[in-house]
Amino acid sequence: MNNLLTRCILILSTLLLTSACSVFYDKHVQWQTAKPDVFPVLYATGFAPISIQKSAHETQRMLMAIKASKIAAYAELAEQVYGQQVTGKVTMADLLIEDQHLTASVQGIIRGAKVVKSYPVGDIYTTELQLDFTDVYNIYQANQNRKEIKAVTHF
pLDDT in tens, 96-134: 888 888 898 889 889 899 999 999 999 999 999 999 999
| pTM for the whole structure | 0.65
What are the pLDDT digits (tens) for 53-102? 998 999 999 999 999 999 999 999 999 999 988 899 989 887 788 888 88
* 53 in Cβ contact with 65 (< 8 Å): yes
Report whether pLDDT(16) > 70. no
Q: Which amino acid is at 53?
A: Q
Reported confidence tier of residue 52, pLDDT bands at 50, 70, 90: very high
Taking the domains of the chain in order of start, what are their residue ranges?
A: 26-154
pLDDT of residue 95: 78
